Structure 1
Amino acid sequence: RDPFDFMFYFEAHRDDCFQTLVSVLQEPSSKRSKPVSRVASLASLLPPVKSTPLKRIGLRLQVSPKPLPHWFKSQPSKRRDSKLWSETFDVRTGATQTLSPKEIKRQEAIFELAQGEQDLVEDLKLAKKAYHDPMLKLSIMTEQELNQIFGTLESLIPLHEDLLGRLRDARKPDGSTEHVGHILTAWLPCLSSYTSYCSNQVKAKALLDQKKQDRRVQDFLQRCLQSPFSRKLDLWNFLDIPRSRLVKYPLLLREILKHTAIDHPDRQHLDEAMLMVQSVVADINRQTGESECQYYKERLLYSEEGQRDQLIDRSKTLCCHGELKNNRSVKLHVFLFQNILVITRSVSLHNQPVSYQLCRQPIPLTRLDLEDLSDGEMRVGGSIRGAFSNTERSHEDHKSLKKKGSEHCLVGLDDPTPKVKVV
């Protein structure tokens, strides 16, 4: 049976003409982890760009009070079966020699690459068939809104089906794979298709969080989240899977290279593939960063014309940004562009993405000093409140970013979860 066959159940209410959908699909697995980036130098004073406050909007939403229908029962999610290559290797189908421990690890790394492609293809198809298509059919969102949120996701499916097919064709009857380097060097240029998808993500996330304010959207997504096929992942987790997979390719290739002997026939192609994937990922990261920077520049609101600064307009890189509180518990949102620091307050306009109102003059980095403060010194001058997490404070040295001739002071803790304070 096709693992993506599923049954739709509808419940219609005349009082509000509200339709809901529950998609019950047998689709097991576990959530794959995302890489966490760290930002050095001045950027370490603010959370990484990935930790955007856009997520906070969704986290504040309440579950729809609308009760589930009597026939619906939340079922435990099922995980994908995690296989090892050694479980698929069959010495009875043609294996002529005993494999060394190093070669076994190499085969495991190649198998992990192929298995990851299969999981990715299934997740992309699931996102389209269980989320995109039903929401379009039920008019929960317009086609234009869905195109903005899902971007070019559908076009990525045949791309990864192609790589998966090539890797399967390269497997011998016993389950081992001799060469993959030539396959990767021929396929990796296709990753350029990710540029448009990743560049659209910041706008897609903003629109999705905005649409979650709609009761029908909220109810649909909640019911999907409670269904087994979602594996307890929300829609954005599925939409972010391609990006997570993209940044994992260098790690996967590095693992294969690690267990490939220097004199192995596949070594040269693998070295070439490694250089290719690093270049492609770096280029996509650069263009995605520029797109994200441009998006936030367009969301800035200036209360005075004098607040506009050419350093903001010329910025192509947003090093990091995040929400913090001052000693009066006023929430601020700080943007660290490549040459200027911008302090704002977030503004939520009706049916519009979040905007950011400048609350003071932007501060060029040339007017900022970076200095170390001890734990005791950090508390001088008034109350300091946590900005980003509830984790315990570190007793390590702290860093303070002070504006020359101003009372502003940003303090970040040198712990795994950066914090920022304003005094």
Structure 2
Amino acid sequence: MAQKELKNTPMVSSPSMPDLSSSTLSDFKTPQPPKRRFARFRKLRRSKKETIDPSSDKAETMSLCSISSISSVKSESKRRFKFKNPIHKMTSLASMAFNSPPVRALKRTVSFLDGEAVTPSSKRSNVKIYRSPEVKYRPRQKKSWLETVENSENFDRKEIKRQEAIYELQTTEEALRDDLKIVLDCMYHPLEKILLTREEHETLFSNVATLLPIHDDLISKLELLRNNDGTVDNPGEVVLEWSPQLRALIRYCSNLAKAKELYDNKKQGDPGFSDFLNRCRLSSFSHRLEMWDFLDAPRSILMKYPLLLTQIKDLTSKEHPDMYYLETSLICINEIIRDIDKETGEARCANIKERLYYCYDDETKDCPAVRESSTILFSGILKNMKNRKFEVYLFDKAFVISRPATRSEALRLQVSKEPIPVDKMFVEDLEDGEIRLGGSLRNTLTRESAKFVFRVLHRKRDCLDSFSFQARDEHDKKAWLSALRSAIPSSSKDMPESLV
């Protein structure tokens, strides 16, 4: 009966309904009033018996009608009804849409985010996700010598301490060897091809590649000396024979000043180099250490050799045949360290002199006292009474006050005051509270007194230039006073009474 009424009902065009002139009425369901239509649609949604082929024409027309019905019902009963089932469960139009060729291509493109290759027809090269270098090194030895032997009760207390010192010498060499392998495999060779020019690579790494065979040689020789019970009898003879090879560190250590300057500049100004350093630090092989810690390891371990050899010598009896070799090797290594200190000081002095930029006089491009200097006796950061920081360098023949400045895209040291020759310099210690701080409104109002202050005087023809500096703490102040007084010649330490 209802179907007959529907057939006799004339069709009324509505803007919300699709154009049905080209189809028959039997292919569509006439929309009911809002309540009834919604109930009818919900009943149809819940029915699981009827299955429609998505590829059939009836499925397409049914889907269009359903979407139209949903939009009309939602607009008319937005405040009264709420959908309980999500629309994404509809299998008519959704299944056709998600199986279409454009969507499949989109899926393949999105899969690029998971590290998969792009479509085969693409000519792009595969983008590789960064992975930390797979460097397999054995963990560093943290055992004592007693843990490596079985019958420890056969040795007296003094011999155990002696063997522990010899074992520490060997494990120190093994740790340095591992650090050098990390430098070569993960830093030296990768940066040889990227991020650094040939000159920068030479400045940063110098002759680090030649150091690994040197320390491997000592480790292998100490291993050959080890007896079946785990003891080593005569390490002094091996160390004496090996110690001249340490002269290769003279070139390496004297280059560290330039290497550190380049390292800091590249770390701050080159994003690619900074990212490389960060990735190295976060990798498992680095033990959370910075790259500079590995580059500075040969110098720091060099300073441990006299301590280790002295400890072995003190635990060795005077009648022992190895005593002569231990004493001779100590003399040889200390001589090498003195040569390294001298070369390093001269190289650092030359590097600082190159960075100085004189601006206190337009006609002056250099200072004779600074030019004739060969070493830097002391350096550090000091403040004046206006709370401004200065980088101060005490050369062997001049006292230089400078501030960092950028000139021609390079970090220079701007010298705005004339350098003071040490033979015309006087030093005066000031008590705490003798000078008031300035430079800010707070210090001016409170009249806060300065602590850890000393004064440097420059004697000229008929006057004195005075410079007051504030050290970081009492220890820093004493270090500065000691260095300044030792640099002044004995004939110039007394200030003339006419200038007091």
Tell me if TM exceeds 0.5.
yes
Q: Which moved more, 1:215-224 or 1:82-91?
A: 82-91
**CA RMSD in angstroms, aligned pairs only:** 3.1
Structure 2 distance, partners of 1:416, 1:26, is 44
Partner of residue 132, structure 2: 22
Paired letter, 1:407: S
Give TM-score, length-normalised by structure 1: 0.74
In the alignment, structure 1 segments of 5+ residues that lack a partner are 1-9, 30-79, 385-393
Alignment of 1:1-400 (within 5 A): 22-25=132-135, 80-91=140-151, 98-137=154-193, 139-212=194-267, 213-303=269-359, 304=361, 305-306=363-364, 308-349=366-407, 352=410, 354-377=411-434, 379-380=435-436, 382=438, 399-400=454-455
Partner of residue 74, structure 1: none
Q: Is contact 2:453–2:477 with CA below 8 Å preserved after alignment?
A: no
Among all aligned residue pairs of Structure 1 and Structure 2, give the percentage whose two residues are the same amino acid. 35
CA apart distance, 1:162: 0.5
Change (3 A) 1:417 1:257: farther
Paired letter, 2:207: T
Change (3 A) 1:329 1:372: closer
Partner of residue 415, structure 1: 475
CA apart distance, 1:418: 7.5
Q: Is contact 1:324–1:420 with CA below 8 Å preserved after alignment?
A: no
Structure 2 distance, partners of 1:315, 1:225, is 39
Structure 1 distance, partners of 2:319, 2:454, is 49
Change (3 A) 1:168 1:418: farther
Change (3 A) 1:81 1:187: closer
- Aligned residue for 2:313, secondary structure, equals helix
Structure 2 distance, partners of 1:407, 1:222, is 46
CA apart distance, 1:218: 0.8
Structure 2 distance, partners of 1:195, 1:253, is 20
- Aligned residue for 2:288, secondary structure, equals coil
Structure 2 distance, partners of 1:180, 1:266, is 7
Paired letter, 2:183: A
Q: Is contact 2:382–2:470 with CA below 8 Å preserved after alignment?
A: no
Structure 1 distance, partners of 2:271, 2:130, is 11
Partner of residue 3, structure 1: none
Q: Is contact 2:387–2:438 with CA below 8 Å preserved after alignment?
A: no
Structure 2 distance, partners of 1:228, 1:417, is 42
* More strand, by proportion: 1
CA apart distance, 1:398: 6.1
Q: Is contact 1:26–1:228 with CA below 8 Å preserved after alignment?
A: no
Change (3 A) 1:11 1:110: farther
Paired letter, 1:89: V
List per-residue Cα deviations over 1:168-195 (Å, max 9, x = no partner).
1111111100001111111111111111
Give TM-score, length-normalised by structure 2: 0.63
List per-residue Cα deviations over 1:248-283 (Å, max 9, x = no partner).
111111111121111111111111111111111111
Structure 2 distance, partners of 1:147, 1:375, is 49
Change (3 A) 1:246 1:11: farther
CA apart distance, 1:322: 2.5
Structure 2 distance, partners of 1:169, 1:383, is 67
Structure 2 distance, partners of 1:242, 1:224, is 19
Change (3 A) 1:343 1:200: same
* More helix, by proportion: 2
Structure exhibiting the larger radius of gyration computed from Cα positions: 2
CA apart distance, 1:371: 3.1
Structure 2 distance, partners of 1:189, 1:325, is 44
CA apart distance, 1:154: 0.7
List per-residue Cα deviations over 1:65-92 (Å, max 9, x = no partner).
xxxxxxxxxxxxxxx341111111233x
In the alignment, structure 2 segments of 5+ residues that lack a partner are 1-114, 118-123, 441-449, 482-500
Partner of residue 406, structure 1: 465
- Aligned residue for 2:264, secondary structure, equals helix
Structure 2 distance, partners of 1:359, 1:11, is 60
Change (3 A) 1:416 1:119: farther
Q: Is contact 1:20–1:220 with CA below 8 Å preserved after alignment?
A: no
List per-residue Cα deviations over 1:327-355 (Å, max 9, x = no partner).
44433221110121011121234553x21
Change (3 A) 1:360 1:20: farther
CA apart distance, 1:24: 4.6
Structure 2 distance, partners of 1:238, 1:86, is 29
Structure 1 distance, partners of 2:290, 2:157, is 40
Change (3 A) 1:223 1:267: same
- Aligned residue for 1:156, secondary structure, equals helix
Structure 1 distance, partners of 2:324, 2:237, is 9
- Aligned residue for 1:407, secondary structure, equals strand
Structure 1 distance, partners of 2:437, 2:331, is 51
